[in-house]
Amino acid sequence: MENKIKEEQLTKLQGLVNQINQLQMELGQVESRKYDIIGSIPMVRKELNEFQNELEEEYGKVSINIQDGTIKEVEDEANPED
């Protein structure tokens, strides 16, 4: 006579172990994606900075509303007008 757990217990045990394995695999994928995203942020920031410089060359020192593109003059902080 073999000593075994019940079939439904074995099924539940296998299911739970499989869930843990699946979650660990997904976590690895998330961490890998996180690494890719972290690496992309500086590149996009650099591109944004370069584009902001292009806009400044064309429009001067202005504030641009990123929702609708409207431009507002930026007051010179060194020489505030009273």
36 φ/ψ sector (left φ>0, alpha ψ -120 to 50, else beta): alpha
Q: Judge whether residue 78 has pLDDT over 80.
A: no
Q: Could you list the residue range(s) of the whole structural domain that residue 68 is in?
A: 8-73
- The answer to whether position 30 is within a domain reads yes
Q: Judge whether residue 80 has pLDDT over 60.
A: no
- The answer to whether position 78 is within a domain reads no
- The answer to whether position 45 is within a domain reads yes
Q: Which pTM value belongs to this model?
A: 0.64
Residues 58-75, mean pLDDT to the nearest whole number: 94
Q: How many domains does the chain have?
A: 1
Q: What is the pLDDT of residues 4-61, one digit of tens each?
A: 999 999 999 999 999 999 999 999 999 999 999 999 999 999 999 999 999 999 999 9
Secondary structure of 1-12 as H, E, C letters: CCCCCCHHHHHH
- The answer to whether position 81 is within a domain reads no
- The answer to whether position 3 is within a domain reads no
The one-letter code for the residue type at 15 is: G
N- to C-terminal Cα separation, the chain = 97
- The answer to whether position 51 is within a domain reads yes
